[in-house]
Amino acid sequence: MRNDTILVLVSAAEPAEAQLRTLRQQIRDVNILAGHSAEIFEQAANRATVLFNWSGSLALFKQVFAMCPNLVWVHSRSVGLERTLFAEIVRSAVPLTNGAGVFSASLGEFALGAILYFAKDFRRMIRNQMAGVWEAFDVEWASGKTVGIIGYGDIGRAIAERARAMGMNVLAVRRHVSASQTRDPLVAETFTPDRRLEMISRCDYVVAAAPLTEETRGMIGEAEFRAMKPTAVVINVGRGPVINEEAMIGALSDRRIGGAALDVFDHEPLPAGHPFYKLENVLLSPHCADHTPDWLDNAMQFFIEQYERLRTDQPLLNVVDKKLGY
């Protein structure tokens, strides 16, 4: 029988009261302590075995991690790890897991919605409706078009499933390409990162779904935008800095590409007066494409299921390769 103490880091702005109630109701035989300051955890830190960063800041995460010498597992609610992989946790032997897969279906739907938004020119429809204008115009097929996914992980697969169901051709870039991966029934062809220009030049839609690492930062830049079709649409559901923002603004402003649908940005919230607000060929989502009514409940339920795996000596899911950053 395990005798665990779970520390849950929350922010003052997001106390997660409903989700914490669920956690305590479903895991009754452990000590659970939640808080938004290191002082709250001082008495429990020495006996803490699990650290769960629900919504705590990086500073709090680092501080509390350093206070806990007996951890056996650390979990991050977030999928992105660029603000989680601080030096001390990378050097540590304690396994780190994240929320990969919990939000993928919703992000897949957002990508599909963005494709239809541009193919059917919904912006024009709404503009004409609001102006009281009856103006028939031609729209594009989504079926038969090619979508290229940069970062073919769990989110990438969710996008591919939905794109294929709509009759689209799917290409993908992933870090490692094996013989079995090239036979993925959802993907017509898989490319290594050094061949991404070749893939991008064939795409009607380019979806960035890659994690942010030193390798992926700025992965879509000036050369990639110049390789795109003039009608191509870029969709980012991964991390903002994977795309060179200055190069993207230039391509959009000069109409060298068809448009962009963005859920993530270099700086969030997007500053007032940012060019994205005024560009007619941009669709903006304020980093909430996965905020379904149950997204927080699902995130907590995943942690509870992970804890059950720990308690029953089953392998944890989503164990992060700290050196690779995902």
> Which residues are known to be catalytic?
239, 268, 287
CB 108 within 8 Å of CB 161: yes
Per the rule left: phi > 0, alpha: psi between -120 and 50, beta: everything else, 120 is: alpha
- C-alpha 105: how far from its chain's center? 11
Which residue is it, tokens 């990378």?
A: 90
The 3-state DSSP class for residue 191 equals: strand
β-pairing, 50-53 with 146-150? unpaired
251/187 Cα distance (integer angstroms): 28
β-pairing, 50-53 with 233-236? unpaired
CB 167 within 8 Å of CB 143: yes
Is the dihedral angle over the CA atoms 213, 248, 270, 119 positive or is it negative? negative
Structure tokens at 58: 């990086």
- C-alpha 306: how far from its chain's center? 20
